[in-house]
Structure formats: structure tokens, C-alpha cells
């Protein structure tokens, strides 16, 4: 038996191990709620404000420089971003950062961190809560208009992204930060223990994709809130592309100076996905058709969570096919800034248009594929691709495996008695694992599918579409290639968000 010295024994016997002597330190929690999504009905104040904001942007080109500290900087590498549905309109003029400017940005971020780190979490949270209030009120119409014109979103897609989701990110992040600081260790009198949450030394380069203004705000805002000020943030500020060339330039510098880092730089990324809807013979056809068309074609299939592969049993295929084609014919394609009734607009740029067009050419030439509807391409005014429904005889056809990031939905029809084997196909066909949905009324089938597809998606839905996660309700993230830290090629840039986190050494 371990023998304690007399002094330690007396101290232990005298210390009140139970009751009021044990103390926890708790911080007050912020109460937040999801931002209401406005309807923009005819004659509503929000509709009038948005129409005025869109009118103001017509024909305008906004200059967006690099910003280092408080200084606006232009390099010689000037670029223009055009509107997806009208590439004759240059919506933004911007520039790519060079090596010298990147290093200046890193130095400015490290210098700013010293003061920012000392600000209480509650004070930092108030800045983001104020930003959320501004977006919710006086700046809402402006950010929506710029998202619509710069990223080709319809009014509702802009509203759920650039307003509601970004506001939610700022408010919920503030809430979580305050609550995190409240997680403190146990204190036993006379000792008082506390944890100080501080940011790691170094810098963050936050490069988000074009498709969500909310991701642009969150990817840079979250590390800033948690005391790690981004030295470079390039993302979907309304009217800007993903900034991949800047990222490629930065990552190249990191690679060339790898031996100078004390720790390896970390590339954290979320790739897109080859997201699925699996339909069982017990499914409700209405929910399948509505959910699949919305998931596949809202925002031109350019959501990371968009459904691009559909598995349908033979017994339901005639009915589902007829309904899909009927509803497909009603899809309204056009300029969302001029017609708020538009369901579908252009894809983001010429590069995306060309990539999708190649896949559609493949669909026309492959003996395993049949185009059932849509698929025409026209870039004379904007980068328009008709929403396309393809049927595949081969479940392993490349179009069932590779991410297209456009309005292309591929259907595989399976024998009803092979649904378990088809679930295995769903799980094993692609390297991705972002979102997926199962449509079935049979509770045993739902349970079985949930078990078999446990690792096939980060966000898994039952009798609902694979898109539309809401901050605070459905945490969003992927598995497999959709959630790993991996190298990034230029071809993949359109569907990635990344956070590049080297150590405190400069490039």
C-alpha cells in the first residue's frame, strides 16, 4: 500500500472533496436563432429593396483590390470577373497577389494577432453579431444583388446563402465561441483552475469556392473569431471567383520552402461529392421527384451537396420517369436579375461550361448512356447549360463515378429484388462521401439502408433531398474524398473550399 507523507495526508483530509467546495466556472450563453428566409413576394419591402440594388449594379464594374492591414494594394496581374448569365458584363475588377504581397499579408496578420488575441472572446463575438445584424438589415439587398449578378444565383438561392446562412454562421459561431470559453476545468479550493483559449501561432490562408457567399464569410471569419487572423482571404466576395490561382501560387511557395518549416503545413479541405438519391419500391413518388429535381438542378447543380446519381427500382421507374420529364419541361431558365421567377440560371464561367459540355458529349457518344431530357449548351450570351437527365445501363459508367459540378443527373434503374446489392453499389461506386438520401416508407428498409450507407455520406437524409443543410440544425461535412486533407489539382478547384494552415514561418 502506498504510504503518504503526514503533511500530504493532512491536506487531503482537510480538503472538502464533495459539496460546495467543488467549483465550476460557467460563462453566460448567447441565445441565437436561425435567420428567417424572406419570401420576396410582389410588393414586399425586401423585393423593392432588392430590385433597386440590382438596378444599381447594372453595367457597373466594382474594383476589389487586395487589402493588407488597412492598405488597398493592386498588383500588375489584373483580372476581371464576368456575370455568368451575361459574360459581356464585367462585374468586378481584381488582382492576384504576388510573392511579395503574400509575405506582407502574412506579416500583417501576425502583427495584428498580438492585439486581437488579447481581446476577450465576448468582445470579438460582438463584432460578428454586429456584422450579422447589418447583413440582416441595411446591407441585405446589396449582398443579395451582388451574389445574384456575380454568381448567377436566383433570388431564393441568394437569400438562403448570402443572407440567411452567412448571418447564421456569424451568430452561431459567436455563440459557440462564448460557450467554448465557458468550458472550464474543475476547481477545488483553495486552487482556481482556468483554461485560456488562444489561437495557434501562424497564419491562415482561407480560399473558398465560388458557389457560396456564406462559405467565403465563414471560412475566413471562423479562424478570425478564434484568434487566428487570416493573412489572405479570397473567396466569393460577391463578383469574385474562387481565387485558386492565388492559392496555387501560395502553395507552390510553401512547397519550395518546406525544409524551413518547424511543422508541416496543413491543407484542410472539403471536396465536393458524387451525391446520391436511393429510391426503394416503397418510396413516395412525389417526394422523390420533387426532392431530386431540386437537389440536382437548383443553382445549376453547383452545390457541393447536389444530387448527381439516382437509383430507381424497375417497378417505379415508368412513373418516376414520366414525372421527372414532365416537371423538367416546366423548369424556367433565364436571367435571375430580371425575372425573379427563374428557377435556373447559367453555370459560373467558361471553364465550367466547357467541362460540363464535354460530359454531355460523352453522354451522347457512350453506348451505355441515353439522354432523356435537356443537355443543350449555349454560351453566346451567358454560360447556359440545360438541366440534363441521363439514364445509364452501367452503374460503373464514369458519369456515375466522377463529379461534374453542373446540372447533370444520371439515373440507374435496378431490379427491385436487388436493392441490397444496389445499396452496396451506392456505397462503393465513388471515392466521395458528402451527402446522400434514401427514399422509402418501409421502416425496416430505412434502418437497413442507414446501416449499409453509414460511411457513404457525411450528411444523410431520409425521405428528403440531399441539399439544404441549415446552420445549427444539420452540421455539414463529408467523409472519404469529400472530407480528407488531400492535394488539389486546378481542375478540382471549382468544388473545393480549403484552409491552408502553415506554421509561423513565412513563405
Note whether 294 and 371 are same-domain residues: yes
**Band of residue 459 on the pLDDT scale cut at 50, 70, 90:** very high
pLDDT at site 134: 97
Q: Are 307 and 408 found together in one domain? A: yes
Distances 331 to 149, 326, 360, 387 between C-alpha atoms, Å:
20, 10, 19, 8
Check if the beta carbon of residue 187 is closer than 8 Å to that of residue 24.
yes
pLDDT in tens, 19-34: 455 555 555 678 999 9
29 domain residue, yes or no: no
The 435-439 sheet, strands edge to edge:
369-373, 388-392, 408-414, 307-313, 275-279, 435-439, 459-462
pTM: 0.86
Percent of the chain having pLDDT more than 90? 67
Q: What is the CA radius of gyration of the chain?
A: 26
156 occurs within a structural domain: yes
pLDDT at position 473, please? 92
**Residue 309: strand pairing partners:** 276, 410
Rounded to whole angstroms, how far apart are CA atoms 225 and 177?
8
Number of H helices, E strands in the chain: 15, 18
Q: How many CB atoms lie within 10 A of CB 187?
A: 15
- Asked whether the beta carbons of 72 and 66 are under 8 A apart, the reply is yes
The reported pLDDT for the residue numbered 17 is 42
Give the tens place of pLDDT for each residue, 68-86: 988 999 999 999 999 999 9
pLDDT surpassing 90 at residue 464: yes
Are residues 259 and 289 located together in one domain of the fold? no
Q: Are residues 257 and 280 in the same domain?
A: no
Q: What is the mean pLDDT of residues 308-331?
A: 98
Residues 280, 250 share a domain:
no
Give the domain CATH number at 255: 3.40.605.10
Residue 506 CB-density burial (10 A; 0-12 exposed, 13-18 middle, 19+ buried): middle
C-alpha 438/C-alpha 423 separation (Å) is 10
Average pLDDT, the chain: 85
Whether 64 has a pLDDT exceeding 90, the answer reads: yes
Cα-based distances in Å from 251 to 201, 207, 246: 19, 11, 9
> Do both 342 and 263 map to the same domain?
no
d(CA 248, CA 257): 14
How many other CB atoms are there within 10 angstroms of residue 278's CB atom? 27
- Residues in contact with 419: Cβ distance below 8 Å, sequence separation at least 6, in sequence order: 280, 281, 313, 445
Q: Is the domain of 73 the same as that of 215?
A: yes
My answer on whether 60 and 153 are in the same domain is yes
Q: Which residues of 372-385 are buried (b: 16+ CB within 10 A; e: fewer)?
A: bbbbebeeeebbbb
Q: At what angle do helices 166-181 and 213-225 cross, to 10 degrees?
A: 20
What's the CA gap between 500 and 485, in Å, rounded? Answer: 10
Total count of domains within the chain: 2
Closest by CA position to 469, among listed 437, 498, 496: 437
310/280 Cα distance (integer angstroms): 11
| DSSP secondary structure code for residue 15 in this structure | S
186 lies in the same domain as 114: yes
* Residues 460 and 298 sit within 8 Å (Cβ to Cβ): no
SS3 479: coil
pLDDT at 246: 45
141 and 221 housed in the same domain: yes
Say which CATH number the domain at 364 has. 3.40.309.10
Average pLDDT over residues 303-308: 96
Domain membership flag for residue 19: no
Output the CA angle 273-277-282, nearest 5 degrees: 165
Per-residue confidence (pLDDT) for residue 27, from 0 to 100 = 56
Degrees to nearest 5, angle at CA 404 with 399 and 409: 60
Residue 405 lies in a domain: yes
Mean pLDDT check: name the lowest of 15-24, 200-209, 241-250, 397-406. Answer: 241-250
Q: Is 27 part of any domain?
A: no
* DSSP codes, 54-69: HHHHTT--EEE-EEET
- Residue 133 is assigned to a structural domain of this protein: yes
Does one domain contain both 50 and 113? Answer: yes
Residue 5 lies in a domain: no
Asked if the model's pLDDT at residue 35 lies above 60, the reply is yes
Identify the pLDDT of residue 262: 61
HEC sequence for 397-434: CHHHHCCCCCCEEEEEEECHHHHHHHHHHHHHCCCCCC
- Confidence check: pLDDT of 370 > 50: yes
Tell me the per-residue pLDDT of 145-157, one tens digit each, with 9 for 90 and over: 999 999 999 999 9
Domain presence at residue 171: yes
pLDDT number for residue 25? 53
Indicate whether 192 and 57 sit together in one domain: yes
Domain with 237, as residue range(s), is: 45-271+489-496
Question: Which residues are identified as catalytic?
Answer: 270
Amino acid at each position: 500500500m502506498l504510504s503518504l507523507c503526514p503533511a500530504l495526508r493532512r491536506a487531503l483530509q482537510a480538503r472538502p472533496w464533495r459539496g460546495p467546495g467543488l467549483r465550476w466556472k460557467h460563462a453566460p450563453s448567447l441565445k441565437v436563432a436561425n435567420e428567417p428566409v424572406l419570401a420576396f413576394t410582389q410588393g414586399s419591402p425586401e423585393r423593392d429593396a432588392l430590385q433597386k440594388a440590382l438596378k444599381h449594379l447594372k453595367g457597373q464594374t466594382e474594383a476589389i483590390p487586395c487589402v493588407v492591414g488597412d492598405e488597398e494594394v493592386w498588383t500588375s496581374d489584373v483580372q476581371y470577373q464576368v456575370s455568368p448569365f451575361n459574360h459581356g458584363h464585367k462585374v468586378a475588377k481584381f488582382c492576384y497577389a504576388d510573392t511579395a504581397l503574400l509575405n506582407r499579408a502574412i506579416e500583417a496578420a501576425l502583427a495584428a494577432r498580438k492585439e486581437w488575441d488579447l481581446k476577450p472572446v465576448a468582445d470579438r463575438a460582438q463584432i460578428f453579431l454586429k456584422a450579422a445584424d447589418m447583413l440582416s438589415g441595411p446591407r441585405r439587398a446589396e449582398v443579395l444583388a451582388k451574389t445574384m449578378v456575380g454568381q448567377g444565383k436566383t433570388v431564393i438561392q441568394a437569400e438562403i446563402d448570402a443572407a440567411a446562412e452567412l448571418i447564421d454562421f456569424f451568430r452561431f459561431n459567436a455563440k459557440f465561441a462564448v460557450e467554448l470559453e465557458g468550458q472550464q476545468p474543475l476547481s477545488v479550493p483553495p486552487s482556481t483552475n482556468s483554461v485560456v483559449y488562444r489561437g495557434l501561432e501562424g497564419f491562415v490562408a482561407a480560399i473558398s469556392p465560388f458557389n457560396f457567399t456564406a462559405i467565403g464569410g465563414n471560412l475566413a471569419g471562423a479562424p478570425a473569431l478564434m484568434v487566428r487572423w487570416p493573412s489572405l482571404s479570397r473567396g466569393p466576395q460577391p463578383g469574385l471567383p474562387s481565387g485558386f490561382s492565388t492559392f496555387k501560387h501560395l502553395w507552390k511557395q510553401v512547397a519550395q520552402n518546406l525544409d524551413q518549416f518547424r511543422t508541416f503545413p496543413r491543407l484542410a479541405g472539403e471536396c465536393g461529392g458524387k451525391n446520391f438519391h436511393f429510391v426503394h419500391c416503397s418510396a413516395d413518388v412525389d417526394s422523390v421527384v420533387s426532392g431530386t429535381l431540386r437537389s440536382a438542378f437548383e443553382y445549376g447543380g453547383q452545390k457541393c451537396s447536389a444530387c448527381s446519381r439516382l437509383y430507381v427500382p424497375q417497378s417505379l421507374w415508368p412513373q418516376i420517369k414520366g414525372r421527372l420529364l414532365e416537371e423538367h419541361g416546366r423548369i424556367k431558365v433565364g436571367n435571375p436579375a430580371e425575372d425573379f421567377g427563374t428557377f435556373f440560371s447559367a453555370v459560373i464561367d467558361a471553364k465550367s461550361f466547357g467541362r460540363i459540355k464535354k460530359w454531355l458529349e460523352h453522354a451522347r457518344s457512350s453506348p451505355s448512356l441515353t439522354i432523356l431530357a435537356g443537355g443543350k449548351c449555349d454560351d453566346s450570351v451567358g454560360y447556359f447549360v440545360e438541366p440534363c437527365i441521363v439514364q445509364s445501363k452501367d452503374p460503373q459508367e464514369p458519369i456515375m463515378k466522377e463529379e461534374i459540378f453542373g446540372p447533370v443527373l444520371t439515373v440507374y434503374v435496378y431490379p427491385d429484388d436487388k436493392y441490397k446489392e444496389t445499396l452496396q453499389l451506392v456505397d462503393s461506386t465513388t471515392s466521395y462521401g458528402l451527402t446522400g438520401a434514401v427514399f422509402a416508407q418501409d421502416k425496416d428498409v430505412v434502418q437497413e439502408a442507414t446501416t449499409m450507407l453509414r460511411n457513404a455520406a457525411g450528411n444523410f437524409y431520409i425521405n428528403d433531398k440531399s441539399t439544404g443543410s441549415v446552420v445549427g440544425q444539420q452540421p455539414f461535412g463529408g467523409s472519404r474524398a469529400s472530407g480528407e486533407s488531400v492535394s488539389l489539382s486546378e481542375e478540382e478547384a471549382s468544388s473545393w473550399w480549403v484552409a491552408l494552415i502553415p506554421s509561423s514561418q513565412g513563405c
